[in-house]
Amino acid sequence: MKASPYSPHYDRLRAWLKESRLKKGFTLREASLAVGRHHSVLGKIEQDRRKIELIEYVQYCRALGADPHAGLDLIIASLDKSD
């Protein structure tokens, strides 16, 4: 089975990341400064226009004060529901 960065599983992760960013009160630009990436990269990730790499994901979570395990749990639960 080929996984796509545009699958519903990634949709849930992207929504969770955006929600985490908004809870922290960060704009994309503020989050990008905390992560050390250009704001357009984070915007593309949140808008389903770019795949997120694992290390980048952990860095983003840390910048937001979000637990990376929680996002992975979302993906696992989504995969379990689709089986």
We report the CATH number of the domain holding residue 78 as 1.10.260.40
Kindly state the tokens that stand for 11: 């949709």
> Residue 33 is which amino acid?
L
pLDDT of 4: 61
In a domain, 28, yes or no: yes
pLDDT at position 30 is: 96
Hey, what are 42's tokens? 């984070």
Range(s) of the domain holding residue 46: 8-82
* pLDDT < 70 positions in the chain: 1-6
Q: Is residue 2 part of a domain?
A: no
Query: What pLDDT, on the 0 to 100 scale, is given for residue 62?
Result: 96
Residues 6+ apart with CB under 8 A from 64: 17, 20, 21, 24, 26, 31, 34
Within 1-83, residue ranges assigned H as helices are 8-24, 28-35, 39-46, 54-64, 68-82
